[in-house]
Structure 1
């Protein structure tokens, strides 16, 4: 990737002209290609540019320009109150008109970790957040808000399954290429529609589980690896309250237990110690399969997120991310398939691995990041609200702001 000093003249010229296109109407047909204007007519473009000025003030200057090729890259424009990122693509032939332009994110001017953490703390419900520098010793917390509080984290638990595959592969108990049959299926995800018992490698299941959060992949892996071994990985990575978190549930079990029709099972599960919970899952297995789940009964409002969930604190998740950094091996490229944030923001990092989780009332994001200078960091945040759905876009924006500040 190149910075503005090394970009090709036509691309740099169009990047500089973008500032003027955003500042005032006029000249669109000399800047955009016919292809672009067929998709985004001039009036629509002017409305978008005006909306950006309303949100962020006047555009003031051209910021960083990063290119992936002579004709494509990312451009930053500094406004009065924010820096806005765009992907910009120009035609390779003269006069190199713009054929693609998309907004990929905005960073608030004069932003700070204190501001981000204050906004996270002010969200309705409960929140937790932490950033740690990773090195040879224990993670060193740099910024923290209720970092030791156990939170519902949704599909973040799938990182424990990924870690167990990595451990087993390193111990030569498993290979990433080992083939297992797909199943049991769970609702949501691409693999739900695949043939029953389709042969899948551990690597392909892990990639679907992490990059797409495929529930059939995670439930297949939990049984293939063995729940006891995945539970042990939670303790091995330093989880501070395994009695609250164990056993790790399949996605089908979790949502079956949340259903009103299974209120009796849920009460017994909530009151039981981990050993008795495991027994309940075995004896009631026929009631806890995906085909028994009425998704509509648990898909709209938060349900039992304080008791039937996958629990971890921000510090627990940072410990898990650090374990993966040290021992993950082939797990690290899998975590980087979906960086969780806009591509232009992700490109600030040499490496960015991600896994989050969400359901009604729950949002969690966990990142393992290596800076351009080689330094490693872990970032983890969770937002729970048992009374209402959370605004996932708002939380994504806050976490992206934190990562961008860290990258600087």
Structure 2
């Protein structure tokens, strides 16, 4: 679920600090590193280990694009994924100003492309992550790390075949989990179904609205004309809440709800009706405690009736994001629930019937671009809010084999460290692409 800064995109999408390639691409060294270049490489190890001294290391050009607080968040994210930096590895200089540096972390070796200014004091003007090699990783290690997450976690990997999913790995794969904005995949599936049945066209124009409380489109003019394709792209690639609530109204909640059964959700009654984003977070508001309690205890038909009767209290202008932005709020009762098996069944349905939905699903790959490039196709949708993160990936290997990977982590007692699940899912995807059966 996108809530202001809680969009699932990672800090590693920085302008100058970006992930470029999965494996290191060694270039023949022109010569041994110069003393100035070697010194900056050594300092990089220190800066990755702990904050402090960034202004003396980076040029003003770099810090204009990647401010100190952003750099520190990137360094902290790398430590969360790979452990503490422990040593400087190979340093190779390929020109007077550029080269590659390896930093050995506790659990991986990370490669950087490092560019320094030619004049003293040779501050760093460019820094790119070019890949990460996890030391002696395995599915067993990923599964153990997944199980060790505080709170509840669930995970599954499947090869997708004409006979159905073949389950390769599973951890609580049937457990219903809060999945945040992952529910938007059901809206995408209904749009794909309607387009395939020629009931709708991707180019059909509808007015924007009802708007929700976060996302780019909340600032657009009311009732701005938008195509279904544009709304779907914003909903999936940006997790735009106004786009999803507009599509929910335009396509019809009953039709979207029906996609749960059509795609193989094992416990649709618990998950229905699919709430709009404004409805869900309005129900979480302290002023709507009475509605939330009634909704959580109601039957499916009574939940539908409550949404109709209380429509005036469940709008975006009733949502105070600050009241739910820091702590988990009703994630066990007011949410979008699905198990990893449910989500993989949905991804498999999209693989077989998605049509023009598949390129939309691939706009945001969900994992670092370096790792995403290992796949012929990679589609993604996740969701996050305090106490919730979910990631769902549909992938085709270079040999044509299809896979789906789904993971969710819930903790009603505390915020979750989103970077930890991103790292686990990235490791899983890399193991699938190298060791998948």
Tell me the TM-score normalized by structure 2. Answer: 0.77
Residues 164 and 230, structure 1, Cα contact 8 Å, conserved in 2? yes
Counterpart Cα distance in 1 of 2:181 and 2:348: 18
Deviation at 1:214, TM superposition (A): 0.3
Within 5 Å, give how 1:248-287 maps onto structure 2.
Answer: 248-287=274-313
Deviation at 1:349, TM superposition (A): 1.2
SS where residue 296 of structure 2 aligns?
helix
1:122 lines up with 2:180 in the alignment:
no
1:55 is aligned to 84
Within 5 Å, give how 1:125-136 maps onto structure 2.
Answer: 125-136=151-162
2:430 is aligned to 404
2:319 is aligned to 293
Which residue, out of 354, 361, 364, partners 1:338?
364
Deviation at 1:2, TM superposition (A): 10
Residue-by-residue CA offset, 1:314-345 (whole Å, 9 max, x unaligned): 00000001111111111111111111111111
1:138 is aligned to 164
Counterpart Cα distance in 1 of 2:322 and 2:194: 37
Counterpart Cα distance in 2 of 1:2 and 1:204: 29
2:381 is aligned to 355
Which residue, out of 133, 155, 163, partners 2:189?
163
Deviation at 1:40, TM superposition (A): 5.8
Structure 1: any 5+ residue segments left out of the alignment?
Answer: 27-35, 64-73, 92-97
1:204 lines up with 2:239 in the alignment:
no
C-alpha distance 382-214 of structure 1, shift in aligned 2 (>3 A): same
Residue-by-residue CA offset, 1:272-292 (whole Å, 9 max, x unaligned): 111111111011101101111
Which residue, out of 308, 324, 344, partners 2:350?
324
Counterpart Cα distance in 2 of 1:360 and 1:80: 29
Residue-by-residue CA offset, 1:165-212 (whole Å, 9 max, x unaligned): 111111000010000000000011000000000000000000000010
Residue-by-residue CA offset, 1:55-109 (whole Å, 9 max, x unaligned): 344455699xxxxxxxxxx989584754445564989xxxxxx963322664430
Residues 81 and 108, structure 1, Cα contact 8 Å, conserved in 2? no
C-alpha distance 333-184 of structure 1, shift in aligned 2 (>3 A): same
Counterpart Cα distance in 1 of 2:381 and 2:173: 18
Residues 87 and 344, structure 1, Cα contact 8 Å, conserved in 2? no
Structure 2: any 5+ residue segments left out of the alignment?
Answer: 1-19, 45-57, 93-98, 117-123
SS where residue 195 of structure 1 aligns?
coil
SS where residue 317 of structure 1 aligns?
helix
1:225 lines up with 2:251 in the alignment:
yes
Counterpart Cα distance in 2 of 1:281 and 1:58: 57
Counterpart Cα distance in 1 of 2:158 and 2:364: 21
Within 5 Å, give how 1:65-104 maps onto structure 2.
Answer: 77=102, 79=104, 81-86=106-111, 88=113, 100-103=126-129
Deviation at 1:17, TM superposition (A): 6.7
Residues 60 and 80, structure 1, Cα contact 8 Å, conserved in 2? no
Tell me the TM-score normalized by structure 1. Answer: 0.83
Residues 109 and 132, structure 2, Cα contact 8 Å, conserved in 1? yes
Counterpart Cα distance in 1 of 2:21 and 2:314: 53
C-alpha distance 116-326 of structure 1, shift in aligned 2 (>3 A): same
Aligned length: 376
Deviation at 1:158, TM superposition (A): 0.3
Deviation beyond 3 Å, 4+ runs, structure 1: 1-5, 11-26, 36-41, 51-54, 56-63, 74-91, 104-107
Counterpart Cα distance in 2 of 1:285 and 1:389: 30
Counterpart Cα distance in 2 of 1:38 and 1:404: 36
- The farther-off stretch of 104-113 and 11-20 is 11-20
Looking at both structures, which has the greater relative contact order when contacts are Cα pairs under 8 Å and sequence separation is at least 6? 2
Counterpart Cα distance in 2 of 1:89 and 1:200: 43
1:147 is aligned to 173
C-alpha distance 271-24 of structure 1, shift in aligned 2 (>3 A): closer
1:240 lines up with 2:269 in the alignment:
no
Within 5 Å, give how 1:355-374 maps onto structure 2.
Answer: 355-374=381-400
